[in-house]
Structures are given as C-alpha cells and as structure tokens.
Amino acid sequence: MSEMTKTLCPYCGVGCGLEVSPPGIPGKATNRDSSGAPVWRVRGDRDHPSSKGQVCVKGATIAEALDKNRLKYPMMRDSLDESFRRVSWDEAYDRIVREIRSTLARLGPTGICMYGSGQFQTEDYYTAQKLLKGCLGTNNFDANSRLCMSSAVAGYIQSFGSDGPPTCYDDLDKTDCAFLIGTNTAECHPIVFNRLRKHHKRNRKVKLIVVDPRRTPTAAVADLHLAIRPGTDMHLLNGMAHLLMRWGYLDTVLIDECTAGFGQFAEIIRHYPPELVSRQCGIRLDELEKAARWWGDSDRVLSLWSMGVNQSVEGTATCRTIINLHLMTGNIGKPGAGPFSLTGQPNAMGGREAGGLAHILPGYRTVKNPQHRAELETLWQVSAGSISPQPGLAAWDMIRGLEQGTVGVMWVAATNPAVSMPDLVRTKAALRQSPFTICQDAYYPTETALYSHLLLPAAQFGEKSGVMTNSERVVTYCPQFRDPPGEARADWEIFAEVGRRLGFEREFNFVNAAAVYAEFVSATKGRPCDMTRLSHRRLAEEGPTQWPSPGRPTDPIAKLAHPEPKRLYTDLRFNTSDGRANFAAFHAGGLAEPPNPDYPLVLTVGRLYEHWHTMSRTGHIARIAKKHPHPRAEIHPKDAAKFGIEDGQWLEVRSRRGTSRFLANVTKAIAPGTVFVPMHWGELWAKNSEANALTHPEVCPISLQPELKACAVRVMPATDAVEDEMQPQVAVPQLVSR
Ligand code: SF4
C-alpha cells in the first residue's frame, strides 16, 4: 500500500478523480497537516474524465480527516443514559440478530428499518437491498438521498419512463444558455461550476441565468439573476413556458412525434401571463421576458438544479416542469442541452442504480412492478413473493414509525439524521423512543450516536474497495489504499455477515467486493442503466466509464461500430411504454408553510463551500473550522432594521417548532423577507444553532422528499447570547474498554 492510488473524492456528486499517495515518499519530505501529523498526499487526477485534475478544498483536504475521531471498535449499551462498552464483533452481530428476530416476531418485517447513505459504495447499497428487500421481506431501506434528490428521481421516471440524468459534463462546454435554478453550484458543486464558468467567460454570447432568492457566488456572475420569492419556482417556470408558447418557440415535430400530454400542459400555462407571474415571483416583467427570450433564442439550453428545487413539497412538479421546457423547445438528446440534476453525494447515483430507496429495486426497477420483483427474486434465488410489493418507509416515515412504536430496529449507516432530518426536536424525541438503534459510522462522536444503542465501526474512503457513480453517470473504481483503523469493517461486509448469521449463507457467500459488484452488474442486464460490461478489474484497467455500458465487443474496430453514447435519448426514444416522453401539467402551489404576521420571514437553508453536510469530517480540519467559527444568518438590511438586528450581533430565529441562534450577517445579497442559515451545525458543534430545529417535515406527495428549503420564521436579537454560551454543552457518552 505504498503506491499512488487513483480514486474518487468521497464528498459531493461531481465525482472528482483523486490521486492519493502515502505521507512519506522516499526523497520527499513527509506530508503533514496543520497540527504536524503525517497525512496522505492528495491531488486531482488529470486522467479522470469528469474532473480533469481539478479539485476543490474539500477534496484537497480529505486526508486530514481520515484519522481524526475515528470509531475503531463495536461499542454497545443497553440504554441511552449509559456509557458505551466495547464489545467483540461476535457480540455485536449476536445482538443484531437477536433484535431482528424478536422484532420479526413482534412487529413483522416492517418493524425493521435501515437508513443508509449516498456515502455508501455501490457494493454496500446492493448488499443492504438484498438483505432487507430480498431476505427479510421489507422495503424499509431508505437513504439520505431521500432528503437530497428523490424529487429528481421521480421527475425523470415520470417524464422519461426511467431515472437517470440524460446529460453529461461535456454539455457544460457546449451550451448556449445555462439555466441554473435552486442550485448554488459555485459553492456546492464547484468543479462543475468552474467548467461552466470557463465556457461562459470565453464565449460572450453564452448566457448564464441564475434563479435564487440569494445573490450567491453563483448568482453574482450571472448575466441574469432572478431573485424570485421562495416558493415561486413553479410560477416562474410556467410563466416562461407561457411566453415561449406565445412567441412560437415550439419544436412542434418533437412535441408531435416524441411526446405525450402537451395539450394539458398548454392549458395549464395559459393561466400564467407574464404580468401576473412577475408580480408573484417578485421580479420585473422585463427580467422574466429576458429569461424566456434567451431560452427561446438558444439552440442548446442546459438546465442545472439541485436541492433548491428538489427539497420542496412541489419538488417533483418543479423537476417535471423544467423538463417540460426542454421538451417543448427541443432541448434534449443533443450536445449542450438537457435537464441536469446535480447529485449531492458521491454515490447517490450508485444508490439509485442499486435500488437504494424504499420504492425501488436494483437495476432501475420498482417494487410495485411484479415483473421487476420476479426478476430480482430469480437473481437472488429467494422464493417467489419474497419481495414485498409495498414501498417501504421513506425517511420521514421512519421517524413517524418510531413515534408510533411500529419500528423495532432502526439501523442508521453512514449518515447523521440527528442533524439532517427536518423538525429536529421531534426527530430526536422519536430517536429517543427507538427500542434499538444501530449507528454504523466511521466517526465518533456523531449526533446520531448520542441516540444509539450499538455503534459499529465502518471502514471509509480508501479503507475498502468499491465503486461509485457520479452525476454524469461515470462509474469509478475506488480501491483500498490503507488499512481501516482498529476493527472497522466495510459496510457491505457487515450487512453480509448479519445476513449469514440470520441463515442466508448462500445469499451472502461473497468472497470480496468484486464478487458483490459482479452480481450487482448482472442485475442491470438489459436495463436502462446496463453496466454488464463493467467489473472491478475492468474499471481498474480501463479507468472510469460512463453507463450505459452493456456487454460490447472488446475489439477496437468493432467497438467503433458500437459507440457508447455520452447522452441519453439522442434518438428521442424514451423509456416509456410508447417511447414518448410525458409532459406534466402542474399548477403552482407555493410553500407548505407561507409567512404570516406571526412568522413574517421565510427561512431558507443551504451549504457553505468548505463544509460538508454535518461536519463529521470537515469540522475536524483546522483550516476549515477556523474559517467558520460560528454559523451566520444572512438577513437583508431592511429586515434587520425592522427587527432591530445589527450586523455581527447574535440573533434568534424562531419557527413553530424550535429556536436557533446565529451571528447576523446583514447583507443585500439576500432578498428582503428571506433569511438564510447554513445546515451544517449539529448539537456537537454549537449550542442551539441547528437549522433543522426550525424546518418542517411536510413532503412532496410524489417523491416524499421533505421541504427542507423553506419555513416561516421570525427573528429577534438574542440579547443574552454571548460567545461562550454558544459552545456545545452536550454530554458525549464515554467509550469504555472491556
Ligand atoms: Fe470533491 Fe465535489 Fe470538491 Fe470535486 S467538487 S473535489 S467531488 S467536493
């Protein structure tokens, strides 16, 4: 393990290639972090097709977090007010098997839940699906991707007949007009943004439109920034469609021959005249018209979005309406054009391929489809009817299940719901009620560990071999290059061992991760995400590969006759039963919790460039932590004056559910009537600074994704808050050796 290893950044879904080398290289000084500890060297991989050597601060500093605050041994306790005591893996597995068996007897299969993560490698995801959905007979596997991009999944499936972004990063260099809505790409997907920005700067005719209530770093360089009121995305999109139709920017051939449902959509958008829409969105009429005109005049429009669109009670409707604009103007299936949802996590896409949500199965199948279930039952060699036709509990439904006593085992892996779930007061109360919670993580403490009975140490980045897929469907092999600390194990190994101890020896007789991956790719045969040509060996030899990648001739001449398309739907045949894409017809609905006189402002939450999710890695990197000693709330000067708040003062934000404190950042970068706070800080990092103590759990009725992006709040100066009081005062349970 002393050579340079090519792998993938384990943070966001951009999926940048990394080259990692050991700290001490003969002839070179030992690489050290700011505290003087030796750390692995990391730099961008110039050969990676998605990132071409680029890397942002998170990827560049990943090595500094590898050895900090690691969970090294299984730890157990009987109740939440005890310390954890070290146990052997045997004791841990025995306890899990006992709890699963007793829950099966008491509550049936639906009493068992697993809440996983886009941090999983595909092998982890796949093994968990086989265990829960194939062997235990419950579809109660959901992932934090539910909070991130399940609306995009639902949008693609309903519009195109199948999940999967149809575009690729090359489109960033080829577009005439980039339409960014609900995405602060410059901070959250920086390497994608750098590429787009380079193209934009080089080509003066290329238009960049950004839709965001905040003047983010992304919006700051746009040709047109539409600072719409939160919750008016659907008004804007239907209004733009109205103008595109009025002005005749229609691809009538594509509409007539390749789509269905345009008539109902046309009827809907009739009700969105520009004067009304500009008023509803809080933007000028000429701004709205300019956006529609630029879209209509461009041959190649690329739309990008992420959580600003997806985290909404209208998330699926909004994704589908973005797709409508592409279909009506013929911006699909060609270079530089198409709808492109950016994934938040490194392997959220792999999770979708492996069936890692409560309503889907491996190979872009759904649990409701009897043929899909039968195909998986055959592959898994489990008896017919083993897979339930009922979608399992989605993320928030698991919390409700804990409240109602219908969940007996809550298994959380590689994620931190005690920070990232909405309505944290309620979430934590539900976790406290859990009869048995397993927290499987690389780090300790995490906020979720505080609510857990059993801690399982997981191997992480570089400590196990596996595969991840990024936002543009590029699959990268990530080999192990260092030993996991203590007794930490790969997630898939833990799931497989539990499966064997439950009596499924044959089903989980995988000898290594490559064998798991081989079985997974066989599940994709003939499916839209066909990856049957891929294997660990082939990916290691040939490098990152985009899917679809079905079995093809390996002879180079023959390969030329079977080019692998970089984009989906280039033939304008979609994955629906009649091959046509579906228009959607949705009226605008607005926010689930609009402001009122008691709660007059809209809170929106988001991410900072340097930090990652709940900071279990980036919070331990000194130079990042130093940059953001406290979470700051952005508030417009008009609102600050109205509520008596001064820049740099502590302010209190209250919603119907909770109260949190932040340092005030009075800035015109945010629209009046809106407050922004970062989502990263949990109770281990600051006292009372949790964004999600404020948010509500209302979900999109189609995707079941919560509306984390908006809730009604009021603000006031926090006169009693001094800096010392902001230090966390959480009692962290001790880890006691045997
Ligand atoms: Fe990692 Fe995303 Fe930064 Fe690339 S852009 S280095 S994938 S965090």
Q: What is the pLDDT of residue 138?
A: 98
The CA 613 to ligand 1 mean position distance, Å, reads 13
Helical spans, DSSP H, in 203-284:
217-220, 233-246, 252-258, 262-269, 274-281
pLDDT in tens, 408-432: 999 999 999 999 999 999 999 999 9
Contacts of 642 (CB under 8 A, 6+ apart): none
Distance between CA atoms of residues 660 and 488, nearest Å:
35
Residue 60 alpha carbon, nearest atom of ligand 1: 6
For atom 3 of ligand 1, which residue has the closest CA? Answer: 56
- Read off the pTM: 0.96
Question: Does any ligand 1 atom lie closer than 6 A to the CB of residue 702?
Answer: no
pLDDT at 623: 86
Q: Assess whether pLDDT exceeds 90 at residue 563.
A: no
Q: Is the CB of 323 under 6 A from ligand 1?
A: no
- C-alpha of residue 54 to centroid of ligand 1, in Å: 9
Ligand 1 pocket, residue 14 CB under 6 Å: yes
Ligand 1 atom, smallest distance to 12 CA: 2
Q: Report residue 723's pLDDT band, with 50, 70 and 90 as the boundaries.
A: low
pLDDT higher than threshold 90 for residue 85: yes
For ligand 1, atom 4, name the residue with the nearest CA.
Answer: 16
* CA 208/CA 314 separation, integer angstroms: 25
The atom of ligand 1 lying closest to the CA of 51 is 4
pLDDT value of residue 733: 87
Is residue 515 pLDDT above 60, yes or no? yes
C-alpha neighbours within 13 Å on the C-beta side of residue 620: 15
Task: Tell me how far the alpha carbon of residue 346 lies from the centroid of ligand 1, in angstroms.
Answer: 9
Mutate which of 16, 61, 187 for ligand 1? The one with the most ligand atoms within 8 Å of its CB, which is: 16
- pLDDT of 724 above 80: no
Verify cis geometry, omega within 30 degrees of 0, for the bond prior to 548. yes
Mean pLDDT on 344-360: 96
* pLDDT band (50, 70, 90) for residue 559: low
Backbone angles phi, psi at 305, to 5 degrees: -150, 165
Length of the chain counted residue by residue: 738
Do residues 134 and 361 touch, judged by C-beta distance below 8 A? no
What tens digit of pLDDT does each residue of 666-696 get? 999 999 999 999 999 999 999 899 999 999 9
State if residue 191 touches ligand 1 by the CB under 6 angstroms criterion: yes
**With a 6 A CB cut-off, is 17 part of the ligand 1 pocket?**
no
Minimum mean pLDDT range among 26-35, 112-121, 225-234, 697-706: 26-35
End-to-end CA distance of the chain: 32
Residue 360, beta-bridge partner list: 366
Q: What is the pLDDT of residues 144-166, one digit of tens each?
A: 999 999 999 999 999 999 999 99
pLDDT at 34: 77
Atom of ligand 1 nearest to the CA of 14: 7
Any atom of ligand 1 within 6 Å of the Cβ of 190: yes
Q: Does the pLDDT at position 558 exceed 90? A: no
Whether ligand 1 lies within 6 angstroms of the CB of 188 is answered as no
What pLDDT does residue 625 have?
87
Query: How far apart (Å, rounded) are the C-alpha atoms in residues 625 and 35?
Result: 13
| pLDDT above 80: residue 613 | yes
**Best residue among 191, 345, 621 to mutate for probing ligand 1, ranked by most atoms within 8 Å of CB:** 191
Kindly give the distance from the C-alpha atom of residue 539 to the centroid of ligand 1, in angstroms, as a whole number. 21
Ligand 1 centroid, distance to 44 Cα (angstroms): 10
Q: Is the CB of 9 under 6 A from ligand 1?
A: yes
Task: Work out whether the CA dihedral 527, 533, 539, 545 comes out positive or negative.
Answer: negative
Ligand 1 centroid from CA 570, angstroms: 29
Segments of 327-368 assigned E as strands: 338-341, 360-361, 365-366
Query: What average pLDDT does range 71-77 have in this prediction?
Result: 98
355 lines ligand 1 (CB under 6 A): no
Contacts 24+ apart (CB under 8 A), 106-110: 106/408, 107/406, 107/407, 107/408, 109/136, 109/137, 109/138, 109/140, 109/388, 110/138, 110/140, 110/392, 110/393, 110/406
Q: Which residue has the tokens 């801690």?
A: 455
CB pairs under 8 A, 24+ apart, for 92-96?
Answer: 92/454, 92/456, 93/497, 93/498, 93/501, 94/501, 95/454, 96/409, 96/438, 96/454, 96/498, 96/501
Range of weakest confidence among 40-54, 166-180, 477-491, 724-738: 724-738
Q: Is the shortest distance between the CB of 12 and ligand 1 below 6 Å?
A: yes
Q: Which residue has tokens 């700011």?
A: 34
Q: Ligand 1 center to residue 78 CA distance, Å?
A: 39
Lowest mean pLDDT among 347-351, 380-384, 652-656, 725-729: 725-729
Compute the distance from residue 302 Cα to the ligand 1 centre, in Å: 21
Ligand 1 closest atom vs CA 191: 5
Which pLDDT value is given to residue 275?
98
Instruction: Calculate how far, in angstroms, residue 13's C-alpha sits from the geometric centre of ligand 1.
Output: 7
More confident residue, 616 or 300: 300
Residue 59 beta carbon below 6 angstroms from any ligand 1 atom = yes
pLDDT higher at 32 or 222: 222
Return the ligand 1 atom nearest residue 8 CA. 7
Full DSSP string of 479-523: ---SPPSTT-B-HHHHHHHHHHHTT-TTTT---SHHHHHHHHHHH
- pLDDT surpassing 90 at residue 223: yes
Per the CB < 8 A criterion, the answer to whether 125 and 356 are in contact is yes
Q: State if residue 165 touches ligand 1 by the CB under 6 angstroms criterion.
A: no
Distance 5 CA to ligand 1 centre (A): 17
DSSP 685-708: TSTT--GGGT----B-TTT--B-T
| Distance from residue 57's CA to the centre of ligand 1 (Å) | 8
Cα separation values, 79 from 83, 137, 350, Å: 9, 28, 35
Let me know: does 676 contact 634? Beta carbons within 8 Å. yes
How many Å lie between the centroid of ligand 1 and the Cα of residue 216? 18
What is the residue whose two structure tokens read 């499924």?
Answer: 504
Q: How far is the CA of 583 from the centre of ligand 1 (A)?
A: 34
Query: With a 6 A CB cut-off, is 15 part of the ligand 1 pocket?
Result: yes
